């Protein structure tokens, strides 16, 4: 079978350009691959074009838009997921601009497809009491219970993303004081996160029982299934859901109805903020590129907002509470405010 220009371009894009020239991580490339798997499925099911026959000339702005609409109408994807798929496609067609410019006009039409505005849901996080209740649920008399307790408590204590937890190995942990863990985040960026002694003791006990402290196990997954393979995102989500359901049955006010692994990361960030830790330090702790990303926690915490406003107000006005504000006495200013 003769290869098509699309198959050649896509292969070079995924196997050479993204890892070589762009230096993207394995997880990001996998996300891009999945986008194109969905696109090929759409082209076959809805456009009657098989993957083996798909040519670059078959890809138009209209078909890409129809693909994005199909994601939302039939696969029920959110705007954020739609935008993520579009970002992967945009990256491919930006690549084609320089490597296959014959149909440059069509690539630019595709690149002009806008993202959709994403609704920002209210941030979900657990209180300290909620975290304590959740971590009380695993049965520590069983191997799985000890693994799950060590994993969930580490997810909270380190503020790590679920993929970062999946990728951890025994060699990631420094058992010499000060205790730390080396986390590889998005874009293969590494950061060192401190660990509390209680957390280290929990990890040591779990690792000792599973022979993960031995030198030959240094590159094994830190948390694995019965086949000694890495846990999946879904696997960790189901583990968390199991204990969240148990905790919710004990106290429904402390555990929200919808809880994901990222909620533990949010919870740690909020608790650091409420303890008075500077946003810059929280940014570094979480591995955010910019502090603007970390500011979502300050915006989400109403208590933090109120205290910040109260601190900002101190010393501004020393007049008696019964005294009218100065701007109320200024008729010209008051009229201007009313007309604004």
Provide Rg for the chain, Cα atoms: 26
Residue 194 β-bridge partners: 180
The pair of three-digit structure tokens given for residue 63, joined into one six-digit string: 């078909």
Is 288 one of the annotated active-site residues of the chain? yes
Element (DSSP H or E) covering residue 182: strand 180-184
265 is catalytic: yes
Lowest average pLDDT, out of 97-106, 181-190, 197-206, 328-337, goes to: 328-337
Q: If phi over 0 gives left and psi between -120 and 50 gives alpha, with beta otherwise, what is residue 136?
A: alpha
The number of distinct structural domains making up the chain is: 2
Same domain, 64 and 176: no
Q: Are residues 51 and 162 in the same domain?
A: no
Helix (H) or strand (E) holding 174: strand 173-174
Supply the pLDDT for residue 278: 84
Which of 56, 80, 111 is a domain's end point? 111
pLDDT band at 326 (very low <50, low <70, confident <90, very high): very low
The reply to whether 175 and 76 lie within a common domain is no
- Please indicate, yes or no, whether residues 153 and 93 belong to a single structural domain of this protein: no
Cα 319 to Cα 184: distance, rounded to the nearest angstrom: 54
pLDDT at 303: 56
If asked whether residues 82 and 133 sit together in one domain, one would say no
Q: With 70 as the cut, is the pLDDT of residue 145 above it?
A: yes
Q: Measure CA of the first residue to CA of the last residue in the chain; give whole Å.
A: 70
Catalytic hit among 22, 53, 186, 204: 186
pLDDT at site 296 = 74
Does the pLDDT at position 176 exceed 60?
Answer: yes
Q: Is residue 269 part of a domain?
A: no
**75 in active site:** no
Same domain, 47 and 156: no
- Answer with the one of 111, 141, 164 that is the final residue of a domain: 111
Confidence class for position 260, pLDDT limits 50, 70, 90: very high
- CATH number of the domain where residue 241 is located: 1.10.443.10
Strand pairing partners for 181?
173, 193
**Residue 180: which of 158, 147, 159 has the closest Cα?**
158
Is residue 66 domain-shared with residue 185, that is, in the same domain?
no
Neighbours of 52 (CB within 10 A): 12
pLDDT of residue 331: 54
Q: What is the mean pLDDT of residues 200-206?
A: 94
Residues 145, 146, 148: CA angle, nearest 5 degrees: 65
Distance between CA 175 and CA 215 in Å, rounded?
Answer: 14
Looking at 85, 248, 271, 288, which residue is catalytic?
A: 288
**311 in any annotated domain:** no
Residue 261 pLDDT > 50, yes or no? yes
Domain annotation covers residue 298: no
Quick check: is 13 in a domain? yes
According to the 3-state scheme, what is the secondary structure of 313-324? HCCCCCCCCCCC
Q: Is the pLDDT of residue 132 over 90?
A: yes
Residue 313 has pLDDT above 80, yes or no: no
Residue 66 binned pLDDT confidence (cut-offs 50, 70, 90)? very high
Clarify whether residues 193 and 104 are in a common domain.
Answer: no
Catalytic option among 161, 248, 266, 268 = 161
Catalytic residue, from 265, 266, 268, 271: name it: 265
**Which is more confident, 59 or 101?**
59
pLDDT confidence band for 185 (50 / 70 / 90)? confident
Do residues 172 and 93 share a domain? no
Question: Is residue 222 within 8 Å of 169, Cβ to Cβ?
Answer: yes
Domain end, chosen from 48, 78, 111, is at: 111
Give the residue with greater pLDDT, 243 vs 307: 243
Residue 282 maps to a domain: no
Portion of the chain with pLDDT greater than 70, in percent: 86
Together in a domain, 197 and 241: yes
Active site annotation includes 262 = yes
105 and 134 belong to one structural domain: no
Are 182 and 214 in the same domain?
yes
Reported as a single tens digit per residue, the pLDDT across 1-59 is 788 999 999 999 999 999 999 988 888 899 999 999 999 999 999 999 999 999 999 99
Confidence check: pLDDT of 239 > 70: yes
For residue 310, the model assigns a pLDDT of 57
Q: What is the CATH number of the domain that holds 70?
A: 1.10.150
- Residue 306 belongs to a domain: no
In a domain, 52, yes or no: yes
Q: Look up the domain containing 206 and give its range.
A: 128-262
177 in a structural domain: yes
């Amino acid at each position: 079978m003769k290869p098509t220009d699309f198959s050649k371009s896509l292969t070079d894009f995924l196997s050479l350009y993204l890892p070589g020239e762009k230096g993207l991580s394995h997880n990001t490339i996998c996300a891009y691959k999945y986008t194109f798997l969905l696109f090929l499925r759409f082209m076959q099911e809805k456009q009657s074009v098989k993957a083996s026959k798909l040519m670059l000339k078959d890809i138009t702005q209209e078909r890409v838009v129809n693909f994005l609409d199909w994601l939302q109408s039939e696969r029920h994807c959110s705007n954020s997921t739609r935008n993520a798929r579009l970002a992967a496609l945009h990256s491919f067609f930006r690549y084609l601009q320089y490597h296959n410019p014959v149909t440059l006009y069509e690539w630019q039409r595709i690149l002009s497809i806008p993202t959709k505005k994403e609704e920002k849901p209210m941030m979900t996080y657990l209180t300290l009491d909620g975290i304590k209740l959740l971590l009380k649920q695993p049965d520590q008399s069983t191997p799985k219970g000890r693994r799950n307790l060590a994993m969930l408590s580490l997810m909270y204590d380190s503020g790590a993303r679920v993929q970062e937890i999946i990728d951890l190995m025994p060699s990631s942990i420094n058992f010499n004081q000060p205790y730390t863990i080396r986390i590889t985040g998005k874009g293969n960026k590494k950061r060192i996160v401190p660990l509390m002694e209680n957390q280290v003791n929990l990890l040591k006990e779990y690792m000792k029982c599973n022979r993960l402290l031995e030198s030959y196990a240094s590159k094994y997954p830190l948390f694995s299934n019965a086949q000694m393979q890495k846990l999946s995102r879904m696997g960790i989500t189901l583990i968390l859901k199991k204990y969240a359901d148990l905790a919710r049955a004990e106290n429904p006010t402390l555990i929200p109805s919808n809880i994901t692994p990222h909620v533990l990361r949010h919870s740690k960030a909020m608790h650091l903020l409420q303890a008075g830790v500077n946003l810059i330090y929280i940014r570094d702790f979480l591995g955010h590129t910019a502090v603007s990303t970390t500011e979502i926690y300050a915006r989400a915490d109403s208590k933090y907002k109120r205290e910040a406003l109260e601190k900002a107000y101190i010393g501004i006005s020393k007049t008696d509470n019964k005294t009218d504000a100065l701007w109320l006495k200024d008729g010209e200013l008051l009229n201007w405010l009313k007309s604004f």
